[in-house]
């Protein structure tokens, strides 16, 4: 039960990040530089997600596979002890770990794209403000 308290919010947060990334990417025609950075981040994210699922070990932290560990390192015996989980829970943890790696790599490009979109909107609003005719006292009835 405690695992679901950790896994469910993390899964929802990761899903939100990835949904925003894809929505932002599909929302407008980005210049080729942004498109290539997006796909580079996605490729790095896939690699990081695979590494999180199968190969990540931190003996100094005494955990295997983060953000949700599945094994704990015992320095006295110098062995890894698997945490007790059902098969369904283990697959859920691995899935969340994979998407955690993907979202971790996609976050910087998503934030950058959001910032670029904000700057474009700010410039557009400033241009509209300048183009509007200014009311003068001569126009008053």
For the chain, what is the mean pLDDT?
79
What is the structure's pLDDT at 67?
65
pLDDT tens string 125-140: 888 877 665 555 555 5
pLDDT tens string 13-49: 888 988 888 888 888 888 888 889 889 999 999 888 8
Give dist(CA 47, CA 35) in Å, integer: 19
* pTM, rounded to two decimals: 0.69
DSSP notation for 39-104: HHHHHHHHHHHHHHHHT-EETTTTEESSSS-SEEEETTTTEEEE----HHHHHHHHHHHHHHHHHH
pLDDT tens string 47-61: 888 887 777 666 666
């Amino acid at each position: 039960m405690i695992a679901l308290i950790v896994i469910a919010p993390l899964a929802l947060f990761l899903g939100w990040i990835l949904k925003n990334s894809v929505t932002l990417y599909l929302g407008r025609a980005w210049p080729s530089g942004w498109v290539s950075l997006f796909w580079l981040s996605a490729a790095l994210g896939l690699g990081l997600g695979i590494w999180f699922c199968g190969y990540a070990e931190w003996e100094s932290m005494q955990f295997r596979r983060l953000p949700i560990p599945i094994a704990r390192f015992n320095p006295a015996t110098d062995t890894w002890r698997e945490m007790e989980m059902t098969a369904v829970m283990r697959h859920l943890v691995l899935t969340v770990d994979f998407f955690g790696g993907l979202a971790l790599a996609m976050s910087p490009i998503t934030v950058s794209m959001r910032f670029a979109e904000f700057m474009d909107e700010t410039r557009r609003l400033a241009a509209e403000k300048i183009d509007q005719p200014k009311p003068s006292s001569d126009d008053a009835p």
